[in-house]
Amino acid sequence: MGACQPDGPGRTRRAHSPEGANNPGRLSWRHPTCAGWSTRRSGTHALPRRAPVVHTAAVDGRTAVEALHGSTTHGEPPTHPDRLVRFRPLDPTNRPAPLKTYPDVEPVPLPRELRPSAAPAADVLSGRVATSQEAANSRKIDEGLLGTLLFLAAGITRVARTAGGDPLWFRSAMSAGNLHPVEIYVVDDDVHHYQPLNHALVPLRRGVHVSDAVTLVLTGIPFRTCWKYGERGWRHLWWDAGALLANLLAAADAHGVPAQVMAGFPDAAVSALVGIDGVDEVPLALVRLGHGDLRLPSPDALGPVVARADPVARHVLRFPLVVEAQAETALHADAVAGWREAARTVSAPAPTTVEPPSGADPDDRVEDVILRRGSTRLFRRERAPAPLLAWGLGAATRAVPLDAAPAGTLLEHLVNVHDVEGAEPGGYRHTAAGTWEMHVAREDARRAGRRLCLDQPLGGDSAYTVFQAARLDPLLATLGGRGYRAAHLEAGIVAGRLALAAVTLGGGATGLTFYDGLVSRYFGTGAAPLLATAVGVPETRPAPSGTPGRPVELSGYGRVMDRLAARFNRP
């Protein structure tokens, strides 16, 4: 299966190279209805009003993040070319292990039966379920529910084979290049690592009594994704974590488990707790499931974890811009509360609920939606029904339970509409408050969409493509480089939610990469695009997923990828 390696464009752009054509031998040289639509042209500012920028002590890491951002944009020369690492992207002789393993420790199996949820998926994704059941479910979650949540967030669902017969694991959430750099640790009285392949937990610490509720720690292994994307891979850590969180939050909502995501936490204490070095594996986010305190011991108070992990790769490359951006955006324990307080002034209000769409299957459950999801590899160029955009975007951009966005959101959304019932094709700015402003009407919107997405056909064949975006100046001035991390995390959550909403309505979606500056210019905005998501009418559908410990073998994935490759030659 020559073309079955699912990958987006890596660091060195290949103008006509599809997702999948990895070209590993190449050496990179450095370097509701649509009734609420307005068709006002630019000039009228419909963006949410933001409070004046408040400067706090928590502005660390801005310079480091700006250096990384400016050196990893597609389509512009890097701002710090001398600081980029010369390396061979996708070096097949130094491929990172796709899964973290601890060879000397016996994992404890989790129940393999998925716990069914009761509410319709469309209600859950509209934010209509969590609040009503919250009070009844503030207890600690049991193993069966924990296993269900972990599988729906990060489980292995499908497997394809390389020409040599090696497995390529697909998982319940999407991930750029299918590289899955995110790991999950479960913290309560003990600390465990989640092993998706055998759906089990590896014990790392016993009797630490750190968290009254179950707290999940999400970490990222930079080299797993930088192996392909170089320094831009640092952004991918948060995108991929966000996509995983979209599934987790939806599943938690469906089971009435209150979930709170924390982007502000003391990095050193969290790293020590789960036994990572904070460089080759870094803490990304915490998720509290249920109610209760988290008491993180100081790093000095903890001994090393009992389990030894296998190395990530034969030779783990470090990228100085990545190492620096990560280190400089770390928070000390005494700065966390101030950082979260500052987030109040920079986040904008967003609705917590939206009206569920008419016509969604009332028997469909969130777990069904997640197990049907797989990134769309081919879109049909057809008109999409209005709810795919109006409800899909509304459900995806609802307020996130994220400490960095206490008012609702850090983002705005730039939408290129190609063919949606009732909507004029062109570029729109969609604000957190739900208003639309048309910036540019385009008869050739499909062509523009493809161009913006690094010339990938998926970007224009979709019914619409959304760019999650943020104004970096106020964000960085208020929340420092840590705000950049949080905004990327939220962008990933929105992308993941868009995919779930699309699948709920019978549509499909995929994350995409993009030309940074070109997108801002096209939409006439000072906001920087953080991630792109294409949504539309799928031409092919992924095979149904397997269940915990039993992924489904994919056949025909290579053929789909060959057809995707052929689309690059279509005008």
Is residue 275 a contact partner of residue 204, using CB atoms and an 8 Å limit? Answer: yes
Closest separation in Å from C-beta 172 to ligand FMN = 8
Closest separation in Å from C-beta 92 to ligand FMN = 18
Say how far apart CA 202 and CA 103 lie, in whole Å: 10
Say how far apart CA 321 and CA 82 lie, in whole Å: 11
Q: Which is nearer to ligand FMN, 177 or 460 (CB)?
A: 177
Is residue 481 a contact partner of residue 325, using CB atoms and an 8 Å limit? Answer: yes
Q: Which is nearer to ligand FMN, 199 or 236 (CB)?
A: 236
* Length of the chain, in residues: 571
Closest CA to 233 of 526, 28, 415: 28
Say how far apart CA 563 and CA 377 lie, in whole Å: 9
Closest separation in Å from C-beta 198 to ligand FMN = 19
Instruction: Point out which residues pair with 289 in neighbouring strands.
Output: 214, 259
Say how far apart CA 118 and CA 363 lie, in whole Å: 9
Interacting residue ranges for ligand FMN, rule: CB under 6 A? 6, 8-9, 19, 170-171, 174-178, 236, 239-240, 243, 374-375, 456, 458, 510-513, 531, 542
Q: Which is nearer to ligand FMN, 328 or 490 (CB)?
A: 490
Helix H or strand E segment including 328: helix 320-328
Helix H or strand E segment including 148: helix 143-154
What is the DSSP code (8-state) at residue 294?
B
Q: Which is nearer to ligand FMN, 204 or 410 (CB)?
A: 410
Closest separation in Å from C-beta 284 to ligand FMN = 14
Closest separation in Å from C-beta 236 to ligand FMN = 6
Is residue 87 a contact partner of residue 317, using CB atoms and an 8 Å limit? Answer: yes
Q: Which is nearer to ligand FMN, 22 or 409 (CB)?
A: 22
Q: Which is nearer to ligand FMN, 434 or 449 (CB)?
A: 449
Using DSSP bridges, classify how beta strands 508-512 and 436-441 pair: parallel, antiparallel or unpaired. unpaired
Is residue 213 a contact partner of residue 290, using CB atoms and an 8 Å limit? Answer: yes
Q: Which is nearer to ligand FMN, 240 or 328 (CB)?
A: 240
Per DSSP, helices labelled H in 397-471 are: 445-452, 458-461
Question: How many CB atoms are closer than 10 A to CB 443?
Answer: 10
Closest separation in Å from C-beta 137 to ligand FMN = 29
Closest separation in Å from C-beta 103 to ligand FMN = 27
Closest separation in Å from C-beta 125 to ligand FMN = 18
Closest separation in Å from C-beta 393 to ligand FMN = 18
Q: Which is nearer to ligand FMN, 210 or 470 (CB)?
A: 470
Say how far apart CA 98 and CA 541 lie, in whole Å: 25
Place of tokens 């797993």: 224
Q: Which is nearer to ligand FMN, 9 or 222 (CB)?
A: 9
345, with CB counted inside 10 A (0-12, 13-18, 19+), is: middle
